Amino acid sequence: DAGVTQSPTHLIKTRGQHVTLRCSPISGHKSVSWYQQVLGQGPQFIFQYYEKEERGRGNFPDRFSARQFPNYSSELNVNALLLGDSALYLCASSWTLAGYNEQFFGPGTRLTVL
Amino acid sequence: EDQVTQSPEALRLQEGESSSLNCSYTVSGLRGLFWYRQDPGKGPEFLFTLYSAGEEKEKERLKATLTKKESFLHITAPKPEDSATYLCAVNSGTYKYIFGTGTRLKVLA
């Protein structure tokens, strides 16, 4: 079975631009979460979506937004990029919302903001 | 507030030298504690889920244990290919999984 897929793999943008990152969950998984991981740190929670609805949001500014589509794939959008947005963006999927479900991660999108 | 602390930050072992990584947590009602392995520039790879104190799980040279305040990841006779960052995460029933900063493990041949 295919795991979680993310695109693109790498992305270089300049300050002030907009970026869209994409994620396809494992088949049958209905929950998708997004994380930001800066070098040397653990993943930081950004959003969780379940059944196309936002179910949780981390401590990130309104420049960050996301959505989930009927096929459970998801997009993360970041507007007005800042240098500090440079990071590895990870998507994770799980069967349900339940906190006892493990999440499975994709390979990530490396975003560099110049 | 839910919190996860991992120690040590970095660990260097000789091949075959067993050791343990620690994950201390503070949560209001643990639903699950998760261990992941992460190679540089890649997404975390799921290893184990632990649900209650006293639980243990094993996979090859790795064994994870759980108490009411911490979890240990024991590595027996490690090999160079075990070199990676090991992440611990907890969930207390909310939408949020809280991760620690990880332990960077280097196993020397």
CA dist A85 and A28 (Å) reads: 31
Mean pLDDT of A98-107: 87
B48-64, pLDDT tens digit by residue? 999 999 999 999 999 99
Across B58-62, B93-97, B100-104, least confident range = B93-97
pLDDT digits (tens, 9 = 90+) for B14-58: 999 999 999 999 988 898 999 999 999 999 999 999 999 999 999
B82 three-state secondary structure: helix
| Residues of A whose CB is below 8 A from B55 | none
Residue type, B91: N
- The verdict on B103 touching A (C-beta cutoff 8 Å) is no
| CA distance to partner chain B, nearest, from residue A32 (Å) | 11
Instruction: Assess B92–A contact: CB distance below 8 Å, yes or no.
Output: yes
Q: Round to whole Å and give the CA distance between B55 and B67.
A: 8
Cα nearest neighbour of B97 on chain A: A45
> How close, in Å, is residue B10 to chain A by CA atoms?
11
